[in-house]
Chains A and B, each alone.
Chain A
């Protein structure tokens, strides 16, 4: 019996679902528009990689990039993380490309793979202290592993969550990162 709250890992499923938006449309399959070499933001990088892989698999049509860019949102992620994320699923077998578990697997694979930024470290000091005060056990190391995947801008928004009452902290984090509580 563990009468102590242990923080669950970040809720990645909602995020994967958002990244998967439009993926089912790719299965119609006539190749996708991967001609755009300008990768201006993480979402475009992500969509480029996804569409390229879908094209290889013969399951994307020309609307791939448009649909993906309109619907996928990798806003909270660091750019390098978004790129790595896309690379990860690009190596996945065609049959599992649109499988949520594939995306979750890539998400977990990146856990602890990126060094925390200075801001990330400061955020984690505040976050673990706040959570510990609320009865949770969550280490700075786990926090940095979890949150180093997010941009400093996203973490700046999350910092306000550490000031919330206990029952509001994690819903606030969910809302800030995933747009849902």
Chain B
């Protein structure tokens, strides 16, 4: 079972683009205006994305910057905000009781209700301008009764058309299912389609703004967007949810950029065949430096006293970073998180009380393990830890009477 990243059909939505532009981007009469991307000589002016002529232009642009034939225009449908909220709620229902959410809340990674908050229109749907559905093969625009002719919604449409083009070539649903073994692997893999779509969308955004794409220092821009995205994540009440909305796009684009610049679309297709395996690779910006080594799995546990295993996933370097950085120095905790080699994040449930028990097994540098122990000590009165060399296992529960000794016995 997967935790946060349960949504499949919606997983290629573009975050962060409002349906209308801020007045800072208000266009005025003048000589300035869009500047075509070299080799893709189209009209980059924002247009009403509900009109077919506008959609065709944006598809042509998306295909050109990707190096594709535009082919037929994908179906573009429209949902009202209410329809979208209903769709999101039905697409990714949460289990009851939601042990994943309870576990993440215990670690301070999600606020209570954080995983179900996507059902609330004002918490998510207002932030979405459009999304691509790989099952229906359509692009859905969210219509809030406001004009859909601004720069950002035009850029978003390009993003979604990139997904449509990817899907024709790669089969995005199969790609997602093939990399769903745990949250960290899924997040890293998702950074390929989202990173490419963001990168190309951002080229088009530059063109629409009148920026010469060849004069842009893209390495600096992507680093700045990553930094700004992380700042935003740490301002949100549910860090893990917010990170899921930023990480595949910004970190993904930064990861893809040097490869795309060198090898173009074929380099991106190579990444589709062999995506980065962890959030650590993306945080480093280069999978070659990820330092991923084969780690032996952690020994299985034998719980006692009516406690049963519920599920296991992992948090990865990103989850560890969020966990450690919640109230401390971010650059230092980022470095600490990047020493992660392997982790397993398990939930056990005590049948009588239905309280979840979190068991987190981590292999990382000794200082990182110490930081985890300290943080667990701050968060829980009922917490146990067991450390052996560069391996650590911590177990914690909100139930202060629960015996957790079974979780920290034996070898690591």
Contact = CB atoms under 8 A, between A and B. Distances in A.
A135 B32 contact: no
Interface string A131-154: 011110111111111001000000
A1 interface: yes
B301 interface: no
A111 B35 CA distance: 22
A1 B16 contact: yes
Contacts of B352: none
B211 A8 contact: no
Nearest to B218: A133
B310 interface: no
Chain B contact residues: helix, strand, loop or mixed: helix
B33 A142 contact: no
Nearest to B230: A3
A40 interface: no
B16 A2 contact: yes
Contacts of B216: 129, 132-133
A28 interface: no
Contacts of B27: 139, 141-142
B293 interface: no
A86 interface: no
A21 B34 CA distance: 40
A144 B246 CA distance: 32
Contacts of A5: 224, 228
Contact of B215 (A4, A124, A129): A129
B231 to A, nearest CB: 9
Interface in A153-181: 166
B211 A129 contact: yes
Contact of B18 (A2, A112, A135, A142): A2
Contacts of A143: 32
A72 interface: no
A24 B144 CA distance: 47
A8 B212 CA distance: 21
A133 B31 contact: no
A25 to B, nearest CB: 35
Contacts of B228: 3-5, 135
Contacts of A7: 24
Interface residues of A, number: 33
A12 to B, nearest CB: 13
Interface string B144-165: 0000000110000000000000
Nearest to A118: B31
B54 interface: no
A141 B26 CA distance: 8
Contacts of B229: 3
B32 A116 contact: yes
Size category of the binding interface on chain B: 35 or more
Nearest to B126: A1
Contacts of A18: none
A137 B15 CA distance: 16
A139 B151 contact: yes
B165 to A, nearest CB: 23
Interface in B26-67: 26-33, 35
Contact of A3 (B16, B29, B31): B16
Given A2-B17, A2-B18, A166 B28 contact: no
A111 to B, nearest CB: 7
Nearest to B30: A144
Nearest to A124: B32
A125 interface: yes
Contact of B225 (A6, A135, A140, A142): A135
Interface string A113-129: 00110000100110011
A124 B250 CA distance: 26
Interface of B: 15-18, 22, 24-33, 35, 127, 151-152, 205-206, 208-212, 215-218, 220-221, 224-225, 227-229, 232, 242, 245-246, 249-250
Given A115-B30, A132-B206, A133-B220, 16 more contacts: A3-B15, A6-B25, A112-B29, A116-B30, A125-B210, A125-B212, A129-B211, A129-B212, A132-B209, A135-B227, A137-B205, A138-B25, A140-B211, A142-B25, A144-B28, A148-B30
Top 5 A-B residue pairs of the complex, sorted by shortest distance between their CB atoms: A140-B210, A135-B224, A140-B32, A112-B28, A133-B217
Interface of A: 1-9, 111-112, 115-116, 121, 124-125, 128-129, 132-135, 137-145, 148, 166
25 contacts: A1-B127, A1-B245, A3-B225, A5-B228, A6-B25, A8-B24, A9-B24, A111-B28, A112-B28, A116-B30, A121-B32, A129-B212, A132-B209, A132-B216, A135-B224, A137-B25, A137-B151, A137-B205, A139-B151, A140-B211, A142-B25, A142-B27, A142-B28, A144-B31, A166-B224
